[in-house]
Amino acid sequence: MEWWKDAVVYQVYPKSFKDSSGDGIGDINGITEKLPYIRELGADVVWLSPIYDSPQDDNGYDIRDYYKLLKEAGTMEDFDRMLSRAHGLGLRIIMDLVVNHTSDEHVWFQESKKSKDNPYRDYYIWKEGKRQNTREGLDTSKEQAWGDEPNNWGSCYSGSAWEWDSTTKEYYLHLFSRKQPDLNWENVLVREEIYKMMRWWLDKGIDGFRMDVISLISKLPGYPDGEAGESGYTSFEVTANGPCVHEYLKEMNRKVLSLYDVMTVGECSGVTLEEAWKYAGAEEGELNMIFQFELMELDCENGIKWDLKPLDFIRMKKIFEKWQTGMYGKAWNSLFWNNHDQPRVVSRWGNDSGEYRELSAKMLASILYGMQGTPFIYQGEELGMTNPGLSIEECRDIETLRMYQERLEAGCSRAEIMRSVHAKCRDNARTPMQWDDSPNAGFSTGDPWMPVNPDYKTINAGAQLQDEDSVFHYYKKLIRLRKTYDVFRDGRFTMEYKEDPDIIWYTRTGEKESLRVICNFHELTRAIKLPDNEEWGELLICNYPEIRKETELRPYEARMYLV
Ligand code: GLC
């Protein structure tokens, strides 16, 4: 059954969603309390970012025990109650599966680092330094010497991806922080442990997984140097889509996923279309869909997220066209503007100041919700939540803090670094969910672990639920439309007006009906000829109260027509 093709997924970042205990950290009972809200919006599936036991070096993407929950998140009884409440409401729950790495506090790693002949040694990736045995005078009992690392792979969080361990005098690989050692997927025991754990959660009744950085699990044999960037290290793309990744995923599918009626989505940065067909192709027996990040790289200079570049709108349209037509009939797309790693889209590509915030948030939603694929809404996106403009002291994210330090040391000015932080930092998405206009936006009665965006007095769920014209109700309407007409799921995609600098206009052609989506991406009134005869179709939705003229589109105007 391909129920996930008709589903809309709502992503919850538990730490910032709803705190029921008053400790300032969101928890499972808070999620349970808000399930009816998610249902009201019209979503079918909830994706939970990690709630497992973790020292929180990377907010839970560093797991200490896959079978336990984070103390602050709640108990297993709380979890079971949430799951059955969700199922009772017709909501499915998918969990984050983080298996490229564990925490360094996981018992496997604690064992692994004890000695070279420990049974868990090969659960992780250990290598000798390049120069240990050859470079005279290098004291290997001390810290690593620069240039001694096994290769030049860089960590996503700055610096080398290798950490020296003085007990066994070898390096271990960590593509993320040093507290996130990479698992060795070549070891069949590792794979079997992971499959066992997945079955344990599925047997509990969860409905699938979002797979964290799954394209990184298979490493290049021989661990060769990659092309070095400015820092002397490679970007982590050299490590993506390794030679055995499809073999591993097919095995995982055979041994686990195919035995259950579940949904899977793999996080795959740096994939080509051809690669995406392999991960998500209907006949491949791997995953149902993937996240690809080509759009998210549009405002990065040379693929470096902190080096800002203005958006190339024509290029954005090309990317949409490429994935909508390239995946058609071959593999299923995911659709998203936001997640816990991205800035808020209304601030990024819409207009978050005053009168245009709601219009542009609705316009952005219209662009995505007419396309083929499974939409993912990130908590607060349905309210048009904005970037908070945090100071560096308010940032919590390891990636941002390490970049800040590294760039300061490299001589960049604070102002320049802060421009990048404000535009791109992951904490933009991680401030507490804005439930109402009471203190702390109704997120917590305690002291929130992240500051609340001061705009919560005007932007909050309580106010938007009351207001039929709110961003919330617009999302709700879009979701309902997707469930009403088959063309949203099946229609063939054609991009029109490809070179137009302001307008995105595409058609979806289905068997029974066609859909036209026309949006003005910018803050200007654009003259355009829109035929007004009957063949043009019925207006399904528009982000302005009434259609004025058939000769222009107002700032950020969005329309969908059904023919
Ligand atoms: C993924 C997650 C991100 C996390 C990283 C390491 O990209 O989305 O939040 O930090 O993987 O697990």
Angstrom distance (rounded) from CA 513 to CA 182: 49
pLDDT of 104 strictly over 80: yes
> Does residue 267 carry a catalytic annotation?
yes
Q: Which of 44, 72, 149, 267 is catalytic?
A: 267
**In contact, 395 and 425? CB cutoff 8 Å:** yes
Pick from 56, 57, 211, 213 the residue to mutate for probing ligand 1's pocket: most ligand atoms within 8 Å of its CB: 213
pLDDT at 249 (0 to 100): 98
The helix/strand/coil state of 366 is helix
Angstrom distance (rounded) from CA 398 to CA 59: 9
Average pLDDT over residues 139-163: 79
> What is the chain's mean pLDDT, rounded?
95
Give residue-wise pLDDT tens across range 419-441: 999 999 999 999 999 999 999 99
Is any ligand 1 atom within 6 A of the Cβ of residue 287?
A: no
pLDDT at 135 (0 to 100): 44
Q: Which of 104, 182, 207, 212 is catalytic?
A: 212
**In contact, 222 and 277? CB cutoff 8 Å:** no
Cross-sheet strand order for the sheet of 503-509: 492-496, 503-509, 514-520, 558-562, 538-542
> Does residue 212 carry a catalytic annotation?
yes
Average pLDDT over residues 368-388: 98
Report the atom number in ligand 1 closest to the C-alpha of 100: 12
The closest of 543, 301, 242 to 420, measured between CA atoms, is 301
**In contact, 170 and 250? CB cutoff 8 Å:** no
Angle of CA points 426, 428, 432, to nearest 5°: 110
Is any ligand 1 atom within 6 A of the Cβ of residue 98?
A: yes
**In contact, 317 and 498? CB cutoff 8 Å:** yes
Distance from the CA of 181 to the center of ligand 1, in angstroms?
A: 13
371: tokens are: 């396309």
Average pLDDT over residues 32-59: 98
Distance from the CA of 450 to the center of ligand 1, in angstroms?
A: 18
Distances (CA, A) of 562 to 41, 449, 485: 22, 46, 9
Is any ligand 1 atom within 6 A of the Cβ of residue 341?
A: yes
Q: How many CB atoms lie within 10 A of CB 469?
A: 13
Distance from the CA of 280 to the center of ligand 1, in angstroms?
A: 20
The b/e string for 295-310 (b: 16+ C-beta within 10 A; e otherwise) is bbbbbeeeebbbeeee
The DSSP line for 424-472 is H-GGGGTSPP---SSGGGGS-SS--SSPPPGGGGTS-HHHHHH-TTSHH
pLDDT at 48 (0 to 100): 98
Q: Alpha-carbon Rg of the chain, whole angstroms?
A: 24
Give residue-wise pLDDT tens across range 392-412: 999 999 999 999 999 999 999
Report the atom number in ligand 1 closest to the C-alpha of 398: 10
Report the atom number in ligand 1 closest to the C-alpha of 61: 12
pLDDT of 522 strictly over 50: yes
pLDDT at 295 (0 to 100): 97
556: tokens are: 């950020």
Instruction: Give me the helix-helix angle, 188-204 and 245-255, nearest 10°.
Output: 40
Residue nearest to atom 9 of ligand 1 (CA): 341
Is any ligand 1 atom within 6 A of the Cβ of residue 96?
A: no
Q: Which amino acid would we find at residue 244? A: C
Angle of CA points 172, 178, 179, to nearest 5°: 110
Angstrom distance (rounded) from CA 138 to CA 144: 9
Q: How many CB atoms lie within 10 A of CB 74?
A: 22
Residue nearest to atom 12 of ligand 1 (CA): 61
Average pLDDT over residues 134-141: 50
Is any ligand 1 atom within 6 A of the Cβ of residue 293?
A: no
pLDDT at 284 (0 to 100): 96
Report residue 534's pLDDT band, with 50, 70 and 90 as the boundaries.
low
Residue length, the chain?
A: 563
Residue nearest to atom 5 of ligand 1 (CA): 61
Q: Which amino acid would we find at residue 153? A: W
The closest of 183, 198, 215 to 103, measured between CA atoms, is 183
Is any ligand 1 atom within 6 A of the Cβ of residue 240?
A: no
Give residue-wise pLDDT tens across range 202-241: 999 999 999 999 999 999 999 999 988 888 888 767 789 9
The helix/strand/coil state of 67 is strand
Residue nearest to atom 2 of ligand 1 (CA): 212
Task: Report all structural domains of the chain as residue ranges with CATH numbers, in order of start.
Answer: 7-101+188-477 (3.20.20.80), 107-173 (3.90.400.10), 491-562 (2.60.40.1180)
Report residue 146's pLDDT band, with 50, 70 and 90 as the boundaries.
low
Give residue-wise pLDDT tens across range 29-43: 999 999 999 999 999
Is any ligand 1 atom within 6 A of the Cβ of residue 157?
A: no
413: tokens are: 């000015």
DSSP run (H or E) holding 514: strand 514-520
pLDDT at 535 (0 to 100): 72
pLDDT of 264 strictly over 90: yes
pLDDT of 255 strictly over 80: yes
Residue nearest to atom 6 of ligand 1 (CA): 61
Give residue-wise pLDDT tens across range 288-346: 999 999 999 999 998 899 999 999 999 999 999 999 999 999 999 999 999 999 999 99
**β-strand pairing of 503-509 with 552-553:** unpaired
C-alpha 57 chain-centroid distance? 18
Report residue 533's pLDDT band, with 50, 70 and 90 as the boundaries.
low
Pick from 47, 52, 99, 212 the residue to mutate for probing ligand 1's pocket: most ligand atoms within 8 Å of its CB: 212
Average pLDDT over residues 177-181: 98
Give residue-wise pLDDT tens across range 446-479: 999 999 999 999 999 999 999 999 999 999 999 9
Average pLDDT over residues 108-135: 89
Is any ligand 1 atom within 6 A of the Cβ of residue 212?
A: yes
Report residue 78's pLDDT band, with 50, 70 and 90 as the boundaries.
very high
pLDDT of 537 strictly over 90: no
Burial of 129 (0-12, 13-18, 19+ CB in 10 A): buried
Report residue 46's pLDDT band, with 50, 70 and 90 as the boundaries.
very high
Distance from the CA of 134 to the center of ligand 1, in angstroms?
A: 37
Q: Any idea of the CA torsion for 256, 259, 262, 263, to the nearest 10 degrees? A: 50
Residue 455: φ, ψ to 5°: -80, 5
466: tokens are: 């009351």
Instruction: Return the residue matching tokens 């941002």.
Output: 400
Is any ligand 1 atom within 6 A of the Cβ of residue 44?
A: no
Q: Which amino acid would we find at residue 415? A: A
